[in-house]
Amino acid sequence: MGFFSSVLLLVLHLLQGSRTSLVQLNANGYEGVLIAIDPAVPEDETLITEIKDMVTTASTFLFEATEKRFFFKNVSILIPESWKNTQYKRPKHESYKHADVIVAPPTVPGRDEPYTKQFTACGEKAEYIHFTPDFVLGKKQNEFGPPGRALVHEWAHLRWGVFDEYNDDEPFYMAKSKKIEATRCSIDITGINRVYKCQENNCVTRTCRVDANTKLYEKDCQFFPDKHQTEKTSIMFMQGIDSVSMFCNEKNHNREAPSLQNKKCDSRSTWEVISNSEDFKGTVPIAAPPPPPVFSLLKISERIVCLVLDKSESMGNHNRLNRMNQAVKYFLLQTIENGSWVGVVDFDTTAHIKSKLIQIKSNNERRKLLESLPTEASGGISICSGIESAFQVIKEIYPQVDGSEIILVVAGEDKNIRNCMDRVKQSGAIIHSIALGPNADPAVTEMSAVTGGMHFYTTDQSESRGLTDALWTFGSGNTNSSQHSLQLESKGLMLSSNPWMNGTVTIDSTVGKDTFCLVTWDKQPPGISLWDPSGTPRGNFTVDEDSKMAYLSIPGTAKVGVWTYSLQAKANPETLTITVNSRAANSAVPPITVNAKMNKDTSSFPSPMIVYAEILQGYIPILGASVTAFIESDNGETEVLELLDNGAGADSFKNDGVYSRYFTTYQENGKYSLKVQAAGKAKTVMRSLRHLPNRGTYIPGWAVSGEIEGNPPRPESDEDTQTDLESFTRIASGGAFVISNVSKLPLPDLYPPSQITDLEATSDEDEIKITWTAPGDDFDVGTVEQYIIRISGSLLDLRDNFDDALQINTSALLPSEANTKESFAFKPGNLSEENATHIFIAIQSVDKSNLTSKVSNIAQVALFTPEADPSPGKSHPNPRINISALVLLVVGSVAVVSAILSATICILKKKRNAIRSKTGF
């Protein structure tokens, strides 16, 4: 047990962050940075040159911005298989799943804004950076600044979990100076606020007006920074300003501004967050300038996979051998892509090569591989023998095993597994592992972690689809998404009193090609009925009684709509399962996809975890879906959670296509597995074309001597633009994670309510109405006991001294269940602060155990309408006057002067004539 514990602790350490990035910090330099060019990007050698230039420039900028701490040491560029140049190396562990930067077509055509996919908490690593080819090629420098500087801005999101110091949703705020200011950091960035609109070549500039409702500038008002600045901060506001070269720190950070950084990071500056990172704590500044980055060009090539299957006596328990064979046959028949090379090895005390590498070109090769699976479980276990034999199989065709994949299925524990750990690390192969049952050797998880592979755990419950779902996940290699097998249904039931298992599967228009249906049983073949959307029966299932499975491949493209199935058990009790997969119907139309993950791979009780599921079509978020997480423990107990995209509780951003929820109901120590089911109904689910959070700073133009030098308008969809989507269903496996330190003793309430993050306020004469999403008794589950609402005339006082602020009477406010919308109206009374311009409001929640939440975000209502101020901060000479207006003014003035002169001359002439008539001259 001591050995198991030590190995487990090592695995827990290695797994931190291992799912997405291979980056390591070594002697102040980042190694293993991966930039992947999407398969949809046409071949362009210039793009590679520009990527190198971008990273080289960024490395120097990063080094100076971090006070001589960090730089890019080596970077790999992953090139699509479709590109014709053959001079590139084969990848080792690198794959699209590990990409730190993705160069791909824009999310919406014409929108080339860089962004970072970031939906975790402040200080936690993000997912990836997205650049478009046109951005990397420097075609968007006017709008977003130099690519190298933008890379440092996005790297700070990705690596250190900081947020932007602007806010597209709240571009202006009322400062304590009683002036409307642009949301920015630092406040010493100078500029002017203007409405600037162009139609064809005619541009009109005018002063911003104050909106009567918000008491801030109107919607079309923009902040135009002065082109010539001296201020050095901040990179997270607008890194495109020439003088900007640093992150905001504690001394110059603008804590008043409603920036995402202030909202997400408790008003800490970006440099404070970076300084608290593990990267920062483990380094000291270096004096010498860093060397330029070293680049490796890697090209995706044919996929090489060797299955390494346990057939030791451990596989004889709980029907494991047959369940493994069912899942592997499913993988071979449907999941693995055409063009892949596949071999099979099984092992007990020794290893046996069952099939050399075969390239899959048709169903003939797939069926031939099915003959290689083990039929009997017996003997000891030697995992290293299985891996060494896999290396041998691969080397018969490829002298190097770099970039090849080994899928290792293990149920037993092997005391000699460490004998080959160094060999595995140095091999260049990627090892994906599946631990089958509670006694599988934990060292296989370490093998996956150190080689960049994935790890899954599945229980011995017959109705569990964990093994099949895990093998489905391994089917998505470095290929275009149109080739990936997508799971539409994965369901299992243990039947006793009722022999029927009925259900439906929705085929949407983005899928339908190579649709495959698999049914399994434990005792006797069930009755199987399947009807297409028109009600036509679809039969002819191939029955494999030895493996206790039946399957059906639907030729061509499956009909769009709702398919219905009905399975009738012929034994009592009986366990039946059904799995349905399909591929993209059209390579030009991205299919809807679901990705699932936990926020971390390990947790120690009572630390909570967060479940995430992201639903996309291409890179476009999908909203309005019903998303359910199933979390299964070692003993087969399953916790069901509804995931939400409401911007409350665990969910960082509302309507970004990422659905989230806290997971706190740990029942036992050990391994857990995650599966997510997503479903969308027509007219309820939709694509969101709204701008993404954490998109790059767009420069609308520059202020030069008070004049606007405008850039082209930002390609923008209306903020509420959404397009309806048809019904769909998807299943995704989120891998395994480990929980430790769970006590068997009854424990007190350890979880407070989650922080309210969406508090909003409006005023109506002398009454203020506030709304927010209700938190729960335990984070986002249950109902809180009460709310504490406080107000102040000072934002900073309320934030820093909440307990001392004026409290509102909430005795009439009865809390609702978590995730429902709350509202409350009150009269603020008299504030003690003189010269207050706004009333600032915040809430704290209290649960039945008197545990309190963090103080909410701060909402505000204005006490008066301020006068429009043409410039924030410092004064600016020469405010711009519209040219047309200037011309009219000049012409009008000339006309007036001319009229006056004419009238004067006329009067003088009349007087002179009158004098002449009187004098006779």
CA dist 898 and 891 (Å) reads 10
Q: End-to-end CA distance of the chain: give it in Å, rounded.
A: 134
CA dist 848 and 777 (Å) reads 7
Kindly list the distances between the CA atom of residue 413 and the CA atoms of 363, 384, 740, in Å, as whole numbers in the listed order: 35, 12, 20
- CA-based max dimension of the chain: 145
Tokens of 178: 């009683």
Rounded (10°) angle between helices 2-15 and 443-451: 20
Tokens of 891: 């012409």
Strands 760-764 and 767-773: antiparallel
CA dist 253 and 184 (Å) reads 9
Q: In what order do the strands lie in the sheet with 500-507?
A: 500-507, 561-568, 527-531
Residue 776 has phi, psi (to 5 degrees) of -115, 175
CA dist 397 and 715 (Å) reads 50
Q: How many CB atoms lie within 10 A of CB 919?
A: 7
37 in Cβ contact with 50 (< 8 Å): no
CA dist 652 and 659 (Å) reads 9
709 in Cβ contact with 720 (< 8 Å): no
Radius of gyration of the chain (CA): 32
CA dist 168 and 177 (Å) reads 22
Q: What is the 3-state secondary structure (H, E, C) of 260-300?
A: HHHHHCCCCCHHHHHHCCHHHHCCCCCCCCCCCCEEEEEEC
Q: What is the 3-state secondary structure (H, E, C) of 370-383?
A: HCCCCCCCCCCCCH
Instruction: Give, in degrees to the nearest 5, the angle at Cα 632 between 631 and 636.
Output: 155
Q: Is 745 in a helix, a strand, or coil?
A: coil
Residue 33: half-sphere exposure toward Cβ, Cα within 13 Å:
27
| Overall residue count recorded for the chain in this entry | 921
524 in Cβ contact with 601 (< 8 Å): no
Residue 615, C-beta contacts closer than 8 angstroms, at least 6 positions apart: 592, 593, 594, 621, 622, 625, 627, 657, 659, 678, 730
Residue 284: half-sphere exposure toward Cβ, Cα within 13 Å:
1
Strands 33-37 and 101-103: parallel
| Burial class (CB within 10 angstroms; exposed 0-12, middle 13-18, buried 19+) of 742 | middle
CA dist 639 and 75 (Å) reads 41
Bridge partners for 845 per DSSP: 787
Which residues participate in catalysis according to the annotation?
Answer: 154
Tokens 């290695």 appear where? 14
Q: In what order do the strands lie in the sheet with 821-826?
A: 760-764, 767-773, 821-826
